Amino acid sequence: MIAVLPGDGIGPEVTREAVRALTAAAEKTGTALKFEELPFGGQAIDETGGPLPDATLAACRRAHAVLLGAVGGPRWDALAPEVRPERGLLGLREELGTFANLRPVRLPASKSFVSPLREDLAGGGFDLLVVRELTGGLYFGDKRRWQEDGVEGAMDVMSYAAPEIERVARIAFALARSRSGRLTSVDKANVLVTSRLWRDVVGAVARDYPDVRLDHMYVDNCAHLMVRDPRRFDVILTENTFGDILSDLGGGLVGSLGLLPSASLGEGGPAIYNPVHGSAPDIAGRGVANPVGAILSAAMLARLSLGHEDMAGLIEEAVWRTLDHARPADLASGDGRRPTSTGAFGDAVVEAILGGEQQGETGRGRPGRDGWPAIERRLQM
Ligand code: IPM
Ligand code: MG
């Protein structure tokens, strides 16, 4: 069973297209999939009083994988941090222990025209991978707000224990090994003591991966070079907050955050798949949202949690082929074409999947919630 958490804003409309694409790919490969839709985020606050209801969490724990949309919106902005929709997302990451967040920044060369970068930088397309630590750092440290002598203050604590760094580093090294063999670890070691520990631990893990070429880079310099010289990067490993920021920068490189998928993996149990973009309440319900990030997240789900490379390949191919003739609104600006609606884009993807050529091996999938060792094998394919 796949737990589907559409959430808020454009979450439901893009998730719907992701489920349709996955269903089409399952049909094409003769696979049976079951979905269970559950309240989450602001929608769950309205229905049950909290962003991550017990029944939703229980269903996620039972699931082979979680397919998620987005959370948040102005309607819930005035709520205290502990009960906001975003807290549901952080709670789910924490409860499922999904500490490794994989955010591929991909754009085939044939689609490089949607990137805002010059042809000499974007012409070859992009294929970077941001590996973001997802259950530590500022997001989960102590937080406090106070008033003292009439002056307001607040703090968020950033802390990391060595094992938290080591486990996500191992995943990044394994991924780098399966790709170009290059890994950039990003920190702020000239200022932050957590970054000094980060650098030491990543350096120690590197000894187990002598075939991977590791370099360390400050996060400010990384942001600069991702734009100036994106090809110098392959896998980027970084902590939670830096990864949040650099992955949005990756969305800028490829032309829209709406194109980026993500997978959040733990040591065991179900992984979470969702587009990197947020709930975009300003455009919700108008049929203009870009469903590509959500659909590509479904492809990652098929590959990593179901072990169905064939389904993943079908979905990804279908997305790129659809982009040959259809452009969601965020990518259509300026070229004089009429943007394709969310639903029409999804229709075209489904059609391309059902009419597509099946590539690679088929039906290897024993749907697995067998955790990291199996996922690591799959990542190394
Ligand atoms: C993301 C989002 C979330 C994050 C928000 C919605 C809490 O921006 O997944 O990148 O900051 O992790
Ligand atoms: Mg973000």
* Confidence (pLDDT) at 311: 97
- Alpha carbons 381 and 376: distance in angstroms, whole number: 9
Domain 1-109+270-381 and domain 116-254, same fold? Reply is yes
Q: What pLDDT is attached to residue 336? A: 72
Q: What is the DSSP string of 106-144?
A: EE-GGGGGGSSS-HHHHTT-EEEEEEEE-SSGGGTS-EE
Q: Residue 58 corresponds to which amino acid? A: A
Nearest CA to ligand 1 atom 6: 86
- For residue 244, how far is its CA from the centre of ligand 1 (angstroms)? 7
Amino acid residing at 350: V
Is the whole model's pTM more than 0.75, yes or no? yes
Residue 248 designated active-site: yes
Judged by its nearest atom, the ligand closest to the C-alpha of residue 51 is 1
**Does the beta carbon of 244 lie inside 6 Å of ligand 1?**
yes
Does residue 70 line the site of ligand 1, with CB under 6 A?
no
User: Domain 116-254, CATH 3.40.718.10 — does that match?
Assistant: yes
Instruction: For the chain, 381 residues long, give each residue's pLDDT as a single digit of tens.
Output: 999 999 999 999 999 999 999 999 999 999 999 999 999 999 999 999 999 999 999 999 999 999 999 999 999 999 988 899 999 999 999 999 999 999 999 999 999 999 999 999 999 999 999 999 999 999 999 999 999 999 999 999 999 999 999 999 999 999 999 999 999 999 999 999 999 999 999 999 999 999 999 999 999 999 999 999 999 999 999 999 999 999 999 999 999 999 999 999 999 899 999 999 999 999 999 999 999 999 999 999 999 999 999 999 999 999 999 999 999 999 986 667 789 999 999 999 999 999 977 654 444 444 343 344 445 555 543
What's the Cα-to-Cα distance from 260 to each of 44, 106, 347, rounded to whole Å? 25, 8, 19
Q: Which CATH number fits domain 1-109+270-381: 3.40.50.300, 3.40.718.10, 3.20.20.60, 3.40.50.970?
A: 3.40.718.10
Q: Which residues contact 183 (CB under 8 A, 6 or more apart)?
A: 172, 173, 176, 212, 213, 214, 215, 234, 235, 236, 237
**Pocket mutation for ligand 1, best pick of 244, 277, 297 (most atoms within 8 Å of C-beta):** 244
Residue 89, ligand 1, Cβ within 6 A: yes
Q: Is 244 a catalytic residue?
A: yes
What residue's CA is closest to ligand 1, atom 12?
Answer: 244
Domain ranges of the chain: 1-109+270-381, 116-254
